[in-house]
Amino acid sequence: MTGVLHKEKPDVRTGADHGRPRHPRRSRSHVAVFVAPFFAVFALFFLAPIGYAVYQSFFKLTSSGLGLTEPTLDFAGLDNYVTALTSPAFVGSVGRVLLFSLIEVPIMVVCALALALLLDSAQARFRAFFRVSFFLPYGVPGVIASLLWGFLYVPQTSPLIDMLAAAGLPHDFLGPDTVLLAIANISTWQFAGYNMLVLIAGLQAIPQELYEAARVDGATELRIAWHVKVPLVRAPLVLITVFTLIGTLQLFVEPLVLKPLTTAINSDYTPNLAAYNQAFAQSNIHLASAEATLIAIMSFVISFGFLRLVNRKGNRAW
């Protein structure tokens, strides 16, 4: 045994390369067999419902006479889209979730980053305990989380309101001017821990030599966090920003659960709630499909617009 590895060379007589697959077409067919189930499930359960919703958005039910006969399904073209875009309630709900995004996205990113940096600092103690504690709210279903916080927002059941009232502080969490912040609080409580884990994974991928070099140069932990850690977790920061942005535009569960507790939330409070109301309360699935399609287009445009913004001038994060 000489300890020298010899790379197989092509057979000069036959021209065959023993280092490559002998039957590339057969290999490609094997790959197709393995990935075909995924594409079949993806097409059946993801693409088909989207296509069916878009298809339904181009139709409408038309009643004739006194309504004694069955309504007919007619092609409506873009009428449902025009109806949705000219509805003050739907347009107002779009503006409301955009305002919610401006509030929630910075709060979520800052909270998740602060928690991740605290757990990743050299002075951190009981990291596993706090990591699980911060992540635990993510395991609570959105309906349960909204109910829990709803009890804390209602004066009849909330000890928090009693304490704020005793201290002379404002305590109307479900008023017209404060209910959006109350919803933002629920979303932050539930998802900050999940986003924190994404950032911690990015922080743990940073070579420790960079921290040691910074400490040798006299950098404090705060300067290391700001000048070393934060720039190197730019990609995870962009990722959680996009996740949060999409989540805020699809706001649904929290206002639906809090709606019976306050008059500040109506059936058209968010675009998703408006589409839900059209589909299941007004029985107008065609207008609901048009509104759902508009929500999807809005989420797509804003998300990819944000990614294009952060990746401009060759400074690519994703």
- pLDDT at position 21 is 54
- pLDDT at position 314 is 61
Sketch the domain layout of the chain as residue ranges: 75-315
Residue 219: exposure state from Cβ atoms within 10 A (0-12, 13-18, ≥19):
middle
- pLDDT at position 148 is 93
Backbone angles phi, psi at 37, to 5 degrees: -60, -40
Distance CA 56, CA 192 (A): 37
If you write DSSP's letter for every residue of 5-45 in order, what string do you get? PPPPPP-TTT---TTS-S-HHHHHHHHHHHHHHHHHHHIII
Eight-class DSSP state of 71: P
Domain 75-315 has CATH 3.40.50.720: no
pTM of the model: 0.82
Say whether 72 sits in a helix, a strand or coil: strand
- The CA dihedral of 148, 149, 150, 151, to the nearest 10 degrees, is 60
Residues with Cβ < 8 Å from 69, sequence gap 6 or more? 63
- pLDDT at position 169 is 80
User: Could you list the mean pLDDT of each consecutive 10-residue stretch along the chain, which spans 318 residues?
Assistant: 47 52 69 89 92 92 73 87 94 94 94 93 84 92 93 87 83 88 94 94 91 89 90 92 92 93 92 93 92 93 90 67
